[in-house]
Amino acid sequence: MRTQVGIVGAGPAGLLLSHLLHQRGIESVVLEARSQHDIESTIRAGVLEQGTMDTLKNAGLGERMQAEGALHHGFELAFEGQRRRIALTELTGHSITVYAQHEVIKDLVAARLAANGALKFNVSNVTLHDFHDGSDRRPRIKYRHEGRDEELECDFIVGCDGSQGVSRQCIPEAVRQDYQRIYPFGWFGILVEAPPSSDELIYARHDRCFALISTRSPGVQRMYFQCDPKDSVDAWSDDRIWAELHARVDTADGWQITEGKIFQKNIVGMRSFVSTPMQSGKLFLAGDAAHIVPPTGAKGLNLAVSDVRVLNAALIDFYKESSSDKLARYTETALKRVWRAEHFSWWMTRMLHKLDDISPFEQRLQVAELEHVTTSTAATTALAENYVGSVAV
């Protein structure tokens, strides 16, 4: 089997790249280890930046996002028993949409299937070959599908198979540099049958640790609180969860979060990670295959879309203009946005979470910083610009 671009991984990056290439007449095949049901039902939160919203709408993928997503023009920072609003649209002219990542994936899968795109699920034993500079053969992806060993020949391979996939490991260690920061805490997440506690997201800094109040739909809410990543979900009864969230988020004026039936609990670890270069010969990485951010800054999905915009433009230049310049600069171009988002996510995480080694002195510095970013016009604007993704890089 032959194609122009072989894509490993049917996450947001792989599916969106395939769709955008299709719209410009460039062929691709997407190979995914999981089933369609699995990728569409793995629940992950999603805060979409203005640029991500625009990319989906311009690609004809925004109808359900606009109808079912929650458009927000700001968010709130809670600390010292009070809440202060960051007016995103007023400060930047841009907004965000709360729309879960698995819903984005549903839209992308539907679009690829409607276009008769080559999308193979339940693929195993994936190996990448002949993508290195100097190879006298076209790149190939070998894999097993529906009980048969198969091979896909292509011009380029794009690895969108996440942090545990095979693509990044194929870049030689001699030329690859990995940067990582593992945080000593995780997030305990719950899904709740309840009306929204707030019209907008609430990020809460408390001496008892961080909490986040988000939304999923008018009747389902998403909430998180900082925990030990080695903790057990079974150790947290519903009553204990609500007591902890009330302690961290309720404000001095009598406002309280809205309780409801908890129907899902999970714990996720947190880390910052960047692997460079994001390309090797005719292999390119996008999304979580190249970088991970803690969810505090809401950048994970948006960084994947940013990578895809850069790589899509480079591939179009190659096929339509016979130019390899943008492909050669893919890592350099993509990493400017990646490191900006990594810094913002790290900064938000450090400002809002209780670190294991933090002293009472440093806890008061966190409060002082929150006072600054919620009262200084310059600081608030910088926060808003980073959050909506309008910072120039």
Same domain, 153 and 287: yes
Q: How confident is the model at residue 217 (pLDDT cuts 50, 70, 90)?
A: confident
Q: How many CA atoms lie within 13 A of 291 on its CB side?
A: 33
Asked if pLDDT for residue 357 goes beyond 80, the answer is no
Same domain, 166 and 313: yes
Same domain, 32 and 157: yes
Task: Look over the chain and give the mean of its residue pLDDT values, rounded to a whole number.
Answer: 95
DSSP 30-86: EE-SS-HHHHHHS----EE-HHHHHHHHHTT--HHHHHHSEEES-EEEEETTEEEEE
* DSSP state at residue 258: P
CATH code: domain of residue 59: 3.50.50.60
Neighbours of 264 (CB within 10 A): 12
Same domain, 43 and 127: yes
Tell me what percent of the residues of the chain surpass a pLDDT of 70.
99
Place of tokens 């020949």: 153
**Domain boundaries, position 305:** 5-70+95-179+271-347
CATH code: domain of residue 378: 3.30.9.10
- When divided into structural domains, the chain yields a total of 2
Same domain, 112 and 156: yes
Q: Which pLDDT score is estimated for 392?
A: 59
Q: Tell me the C-alpha distance between 224 and 6, whole Å.
A: 37
- Residues 59-83 as b/e (b if ≥16 CB within 10 A, e otherwise) read bebbeebeeebbebbbbbbbbeeeb
Same domain, 169 and 256: no
Same domain, 46 and 123: yes
pLDDT tens per residue across span 102-136:
999 999 999 999 999 999 999 999 999 999 988 88
Q: Which pLDDT score is estimated for 106?
A: 96
Same domain, 314 and 203: no
Q: How confident is the model at residue 390 (pLDDT cuts 50, 70, 90)?
A: confident
From residue 375, alpha-carbon distances to 207, 368, 380 in Å are: 21, 11, 7
List active site positions: 72, 203, 295, 299, 387
Same domain, 170 and 36: yes
Q: How confident is the model at residue 45 (pLDDT cuts 50, 70, 90)?
A: confident
Same domain, 265 and 277: no
Nearest to 212 by CA among 18, 45, 386: 45
Asked if pLDDT for residue 183 goes beyond 70, the answer is yes
Nearest to 190 by CA among 154, 216, 157: 216
Same domain, 40 and 174: yes
